[in-house]
Amino acid sequence: MLRKLLVKDVRLNPHLFWAAVPFFAWVAYALREDGAPVGMLTAVSALMGAATGSTIAAREDRFHATALLASLPVPRSTLVLSRYVMSLAAGAAAFGAAAVLATILPWSPHGFAAAFDARSVMMALVMVGTSVAILLPAALRFGLVGVVGLFAAMQVTGVALFFASTVFGYRQPMRLVFGRIESGILALHARLSDVGVNIAVLGALVAVLWVSYRTSVWLVGRRDL
């Protein structure tokens, strides 16, 4: 049944995936630049793919397809699981597409080893898993409103922080906070070549996804579909 649900998502939402073509055209163009950061391009591509997969649930909720799926003789936990598998698979496929472009395009200076570097793969996994864990509970519980509201809240928070840093003279503390976040991400990327660190990161990522999945199952169970 899980396989059938995944096939359904792909067949009924092909335009969402075709909409990613312009993005990969930009990736191909960006690879023309000297010193193009292939790790960043593949990680951002993976994030885009995961976000696209996560919005399938929001789109179907808009057209009341979620209520139809809930009427099928399938546990809601399986329906939720299919959303997580689809989103993670879309993120992995987007990473693979960007990495292949970096490898085969004649103007790209990157080879297979650089495109599929272990640190880049792990960083993409972290970004995909984290984005799916955050987006799907909102999409499954509140539909498109939840996804839009989440992005709007993030944007408003960013504007508020910028306003506070400019008007009230908090620019230096804000730089310190965001500088710490940036240095933490760079430090994590640098340490992802260590096997022990990779195992710890994967364990933490699996735990976060499990908590997110169980939260989504609980939220969907409370919906009156």
| Span 164-215, pLDDT tens digits | 666 666 555 556 666 666 677 677 767 777 788 888 889 999 999 999 999 9
CA distances 125 to 21, 62, 90, 207, Å, are 22, 29, 12, 14
Please tell me which residue, 69 or 174, carries the higher pLDDT value: 69
Structural domains of the chain, count: 1
Burial classification of residue 100, based on how many CB atoms lie within 10 Å of its CB (0-12 exposed, 13-18 middle, 19 or more buried) = middle
pLDDT of residue 72: 72
In this prediction the pTM is: 0.80
Tokens of 83: 């959303």
CA torsion angle for 123, 128, 131, 136 (degrees, to 10)? -160
Least confidently predicted of 19-28, 159-168, 192-201:
159-168
Tokens 């864990």 correspond to: 133
Q: Residue 95 is part of which domain span?
A: 2-221
pLDDT of residue 168: 61
pLDDT of residue 207: 95
H-helix segments, the chain: 2-12, 14-18, 21-30, 38-62, 65-70, 76-104, 112-115, 118-167, 171-191, 195-221
pLDDT of residue 75: 82
pLDDT of residue 161: 66
pLDDT of residue 29: 85
